[in-house]
């Protein structure tokens, strides 16, 4: 019995999965490659670029989410003094106070009703993603009248609306797309935010644009959610 020669099938290499490059991040998020020890936190990266007084007054709105891990722990690590933390949810507020102790003054209140005893040098606004329109249309205008010129603000933003809600791996439920899209187009003039569009929109509301940074410094589940960094003019 003659053995048939086996025909070797040509092997086809699968194309390598493309990863987002630093160049792509540079085009959209200028601070991503310039800060060391950011721990994949865009919030921390911004904090490390900020120059404040020796003992700055800091107000962290929405601090109780994830028990302070997103914002408050970085504020305490990088700045001296006490952080005032406003949290609407009583249970979250209690967890935050027990976890972080005396260096955090937790205020269980609605930010719409809360007025700080003294204007902060740094205001952080990190409420739930579905309240982003309210943050920019109600919370920030309120604090604009309370902050001194030059005071810094870091506020959560969805900078790519389509990717966040309708992308291949959406970060948020698509049910929220319509409202968020309408807000982005009304406030920023586009669903996808760029530094130029952010600067132009913020200027109209009395703010000076300083930066736009991905929430996870490009290492998270997708490029869509981040932080806007600006100051009061």
Give the CATH number for residue 167: 3.40.50.150
- The closest alpha carbon to 134, from 112, 108, 159, 107, belongs to 112
> For residue 34, is it within any domain?
yes
Q: How does pLDDT run along the chain (233 residues), one tens digit per residue?
A: 544 554 444 444 433 333 333 344 444 445 454 667 888 899 999 998 888 888 899 999 999 778 899 999 999 999 998 999 999 999 999 999 999 999 999 999 999 999 999 999 999 999 999 999 999 999 999 999 999 999 999 999 999 999 999 998 899 999 999 999 999 999 999 999 988 999 999 999 999 999 898 899 888 887 899 999 999 99
Q: Where are the beta strands (DSSP E) in the chain?
A: 58-61, 83-87, 104-108, 122-125, 152-158, 207-214, 225-232
> For residue 7, is it within any domain?
no
- The closest alpha carbon to 121, from 155, 146, 93, belongs to 146
User: Which residues form the domain of 227?
Assistant: 22-232
Contacts of 170 (CB under 8 A, 6+ apart): 163, 164, 222
> For residue 15, is it within any domain?
no
Angle at 157 between CA 156 and CA 158, to 5 degrees: 140
Determine whether 202 is exposed, middle or buried from the number of CB atoms within 10 Å of its CB (0-12, 13-18, 19+).
buried
> For residue 160, is it within any domain?
yes
How many domains in the chain?
1
> For residue 222, is it within any domain?
yes
> For residue 13, is it within any domain?
no
């Amino acid at each position: 019995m003659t053995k048939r020669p086996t025909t070797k099938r040509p092997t086809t290499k699968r194309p390598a999965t493309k990863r987002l490059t630093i160049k792509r991040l540079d085009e959209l998020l200028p601070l991503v490659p310039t800060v060391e020890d950011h721990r994949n936190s865009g919030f921390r990266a911004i904090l490390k670029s900020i120059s404040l007084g020796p003992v700055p007054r800091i107000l962290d709105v929405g601090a109780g989410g994830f028990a302070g891990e997103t914002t408050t722990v970085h504020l305490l690590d990088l700045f001296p003094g006490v952080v005032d933390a406003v949290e609407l949810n009583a249970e979250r507020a209690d967890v935050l106070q027990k976890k972080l102790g005396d260096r955090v003054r937790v205020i269980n209140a609605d930010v719409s009703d809360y007025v700080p005893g003294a204007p902060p040098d740094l205001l952080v606004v990190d409420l739930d993603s579905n309240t982003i329109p309210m943050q920019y249309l109600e919370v920030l205008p309120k604090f604009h009248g309370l902050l001194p010129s030059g005071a810094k603000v870091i506020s959560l933003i969805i900078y790519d609306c389509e990717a966040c809600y309708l992308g291949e791996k959406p970060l948020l439920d698509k049910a929220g797309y319509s409202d968020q899209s309408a807000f982005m187009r009304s406030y920023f003039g586009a669903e996808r935010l760029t530094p130029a569009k952010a600067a132009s929109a913020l200027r109209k509301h009395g703010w000076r644009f300083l930066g736009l940074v991905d929430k996870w410094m490009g290492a998270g589940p997708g490029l869509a959610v981040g932080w806007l960094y600006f100051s009061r003019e």
